[in-house]
Structure 1
Amino acid sequence: MYVASTRAAEGPPPPGAPRVSRVPTTVYLLGTVSLLTDISAEMVTAFLPVYVIFSLQMSYLQLGLLDGIYTGATAVLRLVGGYYADRVHRHKAVAVVGYGLSAVTKLVFPAVGASTFGLGGVLAVDRAGKGLRTAPRDAMISLVTTPDKLGAAFGVHRTMDTIGALIGPLATFAVLTWLTTSPGPIFAISFCFGLIGLIVLVAFVRQPPPQRVKGAVSLRALGGLLRLRGVRRTTIAAALLGLATISDAFVFVVLQQAAGVSPTWLALMPVGTALTFLLAATPLGRFADRVGRWRVFFAGHVLLLAVYLLLLGPFSGLPLVLLTVALHGLFYAATDGVLMAHGATLVPEHLRAGGLSIVQTGQALARFASSVGFGLLLQSLAFTPSVWIAIGTMLAALACTYLLIRPEVAR
């Protein structure tokens, strides 16, 4: 994919010419789109636990179902978006539809009120937009970046994305603290940021010429990627670890209880995670390029295991909150973009979006099951036994993943 720059105006390089070994301008433009969109999304994400549990008085099981929808509704449409973008060579157009869907839903949230069904439906449409856009966007990043810079490129993109994740909860906290606890202004401001991000994508990012992406694109070819050992094992391993991953909403809810801080802090906890992510994503991406992307991804889940242990409350108060959210941010910095950088090396260019969507779908479905399952645990058990079960699940997932991934796919 190309942007309105001098390099873009010169057209694609001739066949066989080496690409410039740097993070391309396209990555920064897509990072800007993601930054603005993440402000929009994270305003809602930060508000959701407060809105559902304290404003609407819903149960932990209902929160788990809604959060599961928020996480897992992207699953199937990741495959659709990835396949269609590869098929028609229109990665940008598919991404525009996805970003547009997510922006529009912010205007619908206030209308559904306390209806679990209504909230679930709006969240599903919102996440459907994310599902459509994610694989085409990540494919565009990988297609304009040299293989040795993939970790750095995804790190830069995720860093910019996380600036939005940092600003979004702060905006929600500011509105709740200084303006009103009514949800209307939060959703309206969220929509405005999403709309600006969409405008940046449409106005400044160009679709790559079709000749840059060659090869047959079909459902059979996409399904055939799972016959590749690296793709198959990576997808299974990502799903296993996703199944053991407690969703952010529940991490923060349990942390608030373990630390004994005010529920108002729920809106600020994502800020701590985002700040650590912001500082660490690019350095860890570059580090992963050197030592092996899968190794860094695996180590990130070891950090998540440490987060779960801290949720048992060895100490409390603000120190527990600060340490936990810092480790939580490091987990994301070591896993989010790094997994896509690893996956991009396993699939050919003409199936890049579809191939990445396979890995993303396995992970998203597993995280959907995890959100619903942990909500059921909290509905039936106390916090402590629920967290112990999560710890046991993560240990088992780490052991299985270690045995599954062979040295030849560990880069």
Structure 2
Amino acid sequence: MGRFRYLTRAVWLLSLVSLFTDLASEMLYPVMPMYLQSIGFSVFFIGVLEGVAEAVAGLSKGYFGQWSDRLGRRAPFVQLGYGLSAVSKPLLAVLATPAWVLLARTIDRLGKGLRTGARDALLSDETTPADRGKVFGFHRSMDTLGAVLGPLAALLWLSAHPGKFRPLFLWAFLPGVVAVLITFALHERGAVPSGRPVVPFWASFRYWRQASGSYRRVVGGLLVFALVNSSDAFLLLLARQRGLPATQVIGLYILYNVTYVASAWPLGHLADLLGSRRLMVAGLVMFAAVYGGVAFAHERWEFAALFMLYGVYAAATEGVGKAWVSTLCAKTDTGAALGTYAGLSSLAALGASTGAGLLWQWYGPLATFGLAAAVTLGVAAYLAGVRVVRLPEQQLFSA
């Protein structure tokens, strides 16, 4: 077990929590639009619903990350955050009114905002710079395993009970409860309180101004990419538009997640060997290849190959990106740094999906995916050469 010494008790617990939470969430992700439409919701309101929910998550991540740093506590934020997300699942099926569904989705996203910065800081506290990529990669692979099991569970249910959406929201509550119970087994290391006052909720991204130049340069490049990294729903929509039946489109989503699970952990190892910068740049090039490729894809095998490559891209960037960003700040600021990065990325993603939808409507999918591919290649070139200065407080890797 010496080879896996970085997989501490806390890393395992947090990874299992993410697995069960994603299982619950992904049971509902592929059926949510169909469910909302079945109870009379318009496509416009569904867009408003998701927009408000993502804005709440984005704004709260940096804010609660700072609270976690100030108190030197991580576990309470993790426990309450996962608890809110678990409770929100059955609430979605209680009433079919717009205000109630909006409230339930907001509670779910507020839970995500509460836990994200503190959870990632806990993972960072459990490892060293030499193993950070492996830890984040392992955590993300477990998280995405839940994203594979969730849609499979939903497909099994709907195959036996066609059109019965509401019971799924109740079933999704069970893995959510398991995740919350696991959080109470966490025993966090004693973190040093930052002592900094927490800025108001509406100014929760103020950390950006006090961050190092290296942090701002790297995260700035990543945010430009986030502005063209639209929702995966557009990839699925394109496959459906090109003639693939709904069952095969769901199969592509599962194939993407399976590839992600298989790739995340080994690519985390590769990040520690080659450096986060190199793997991040390689992942962005893969993203550009996928987005450029789907614009011209029509056959099922073409979409299958591109969705597999998309899974490798995701594994090469998300956990690795957090690992890289966590080395660009002082240890006492990890929660705020990661929370601010995650929050700004969420807001950028909201803008990306809105812009992609408008571009698709005005100029078609070729323009939507082609522009995203071109911008991503530019970001990859920028990050390959961006100047990163080592902080004296810590040893940075892959800078």
Task: Report the residue type matching 2:230 in the other structure.
Answer: I
**Correspondence for 1:146:** 128
* 1:73–1:33 distance in 2 versus 1, CA, 3 Å: same
User: What root-mean-square deviation, in Å, do the aligned CA atoms of Structure 1 and Structure 2 show?
Assistant: 2.6
**Structure 2 counterpart SS, 1:244:** coil
Counterparts of 1:79-98 in structure 2, within 5 Å, are 79-98=62-81
**Alpha-carbon deviations, 1:262-302, whole Å to 9, x = none?**
12334333311111111111111111112111221222121
Decide which of 189, 200, 215 is 1:208's aligned counterpart.
Answer: 189
**Correspondence for 1:253:** 237
Instruction: State the shift of 1:215 in Å.
Output: 4.4
Partners in 1 of 2:239 and 2:37 — Cα distance? 15
**Correspondence for 1:344:** 326
> Contact 2:17–2:183 (CA<8 Å) still a contact in 1?
yes
Counterparts of 1:10-89 in structure 2, within 5 Å, are 22-51=6-35, 58-59=42-43, 64-89=47-72
Partners in 2 of 1:52 and 1:104 — Cα distance? 19
* 1:21–1:349 distance in 2 versus 1, CA, 3 Å: farther
**Correspondence for 2:197:** 218
Instruction: State the shift of 1:120 in Å.
Output: 4.2
Decide which of 152, 156, 160 is 2:138's aligned counterpart.
Answer: 156
Task: Report the residue type matching 2:284 in the other structure.
Answer: H
Partners in 2 of 1:22 and 1:392 — Cα distance? 38
Instruction: State the shift of 1:223 in Å.
Output: 2.5
Q: Which sections of structure 1, spanning at least 5 residues, go unmatched?
A: 1-19
> Contact 1:23–1:149 (CA<8 Å) still a contact in 2?
no
Task: Report the residue type matching 2:186 in the other structure.
Answer: V
**Structure 1 counterpart SS, 2:230:** coil
Counterparts of 1:95-244 in structure 2, within 5 Å, are 95-113=78-96, 115=98, 119-202=101-184, 204-209=185-190, 212-213=191-192, 215-219=194-198, 223=207, 226-244=210-228
Counterparts of 1:304-319 in structure 2, within 5 Å, are 304-317=287-300, 319=301
Q: Are 1:277 and 2:257 counterparts? A: no
Instruction: State the shift of 1:391 in Å.
Output: 3.1
> Contact 1:225–1:347 (CA<8 Å) still a contact in 2?
no
Partners in 1 of 2:247 and 2:51 — Cα distance? 23
**Correspondence for 2:274:** 291
> Contact 2:288–2:374 (CA<8 Å) still a contact in 1?
no
Partners in 1 of 2:252 and 2:140 — Cα distance? 19
Q: Which sections of structure 2, spanning at least 5 residues, go unmatched?
A: 200-204, 391-397
Fraction of identical pairs, as percent: 29
> Contact 1:21–1:146 (CA<8 Å) still a contact in 2?
no
Task: Report the residue type matching 1:240 in the other structure.
Answer: V
Task: Report the residue type matching 1:86 in the other structure.
Answer: D
Partners in 2 of 1:266 and 1:57 — Cα distance? 23
Partners in 2 of 1:224 and 1:239 — Cα distance? 13
**Correspondence for 2:393:** none
Partners in 2 of 1:249 and 1:224 — Cα distance? 30
Partners in 2 of 1:127 and 1:243 — Cα distance? 20
> Contact 1:64–1:376 (CA<8 Å) still a contact in 2?
no
Instruction: State the shift of 1:69 in Å.
Output: 4.2
Bigger shift: 25-34 or 358-367?
358-367
- Provide the TM-score with structure 1 as the length reference: 0.85
Partners in 2 of 1:215 and 1:72 — Cα distance? 27
> Contact 1:247–1:371 (CA<8 Å) still a contact in 2?
yes
Partners in 2 of 1:56 and 1:327 — Cα distance? 37
Counterparts of 1:297-376 in structure 2, within 5 Å, are 297-317=280-300, 319-376=301-358
Report how many residues are paired.
384
**Correspondence for 2:395:** none
Q: Are 1:385 and 2:364 counterparts? A: no
Instruction: State the shift of 1:362 in Å.
Output: 2.0
Task: Report the residue type matching 1:82 in the other structure.
Answer: G
> Contact 1:64–1:371 (CA<8 Å) still a contact in 2?
no
**Alpha-carbon deviations, 1:218-260, whole Å to 9, x = none?**
34797376440111112211211101102112221212223x2
**Structure 1 counterpart SS, 2:93:** helix
* 1:67–1:270 distance in 2 versus 1, CA, 3 Å: farther
Partners in 1 of 2:354 and 2:12 — Cα distance? 35
- Provide the TM-score with structure 2 as the length reference: 0.88
Partners in 2 of 1:278 and 1:30 — Cα distance? 16
* 1:214–1:128 distance in 2 versus 1, CA, 3 Å: closer
Partners in 2 of 1:125 and 1:371 — Cα distance? 22
Instruction: State the shift of 1:384 in Å.
Output: 3.1
**Structure 2 counterpart SS, 1:206:** coil
Partners in 2 of 1:399 and 1:114 — Cα distance? 47
**Structure 1 counterpart SS, 2:131:** helix
* 1:307–1:49 distance in 2 versus 1, CA, 3 Å: farther
**Correspondence for 1:14:** none
Partners in 1 of 2:312 and 2:162 — Cα distance? 33
**Alpha-carbon deviations, 1:144-179, whole Å to 9, x = none?**
112110000111111111110110111111122222
* 1:389–1:365 distance in 2 versus 1, CA, 3 Å: same
Task: Report the residue type matching 1:370 in the other structure.
Answer: A
Task: Report the residue type matching 2:113 in the other structure.
Answer: G
> Contact 1:276–1:326 (CA<8 Å) still a contact in 2?
yes
Partners in 2 of 1:178 and 1:69 — Cα distance? 34
Instruction: State the shift of 1:114 in Å.
Output: 7.1
Instruction: State the shift of 1:142 in Å.
Output: 0.6
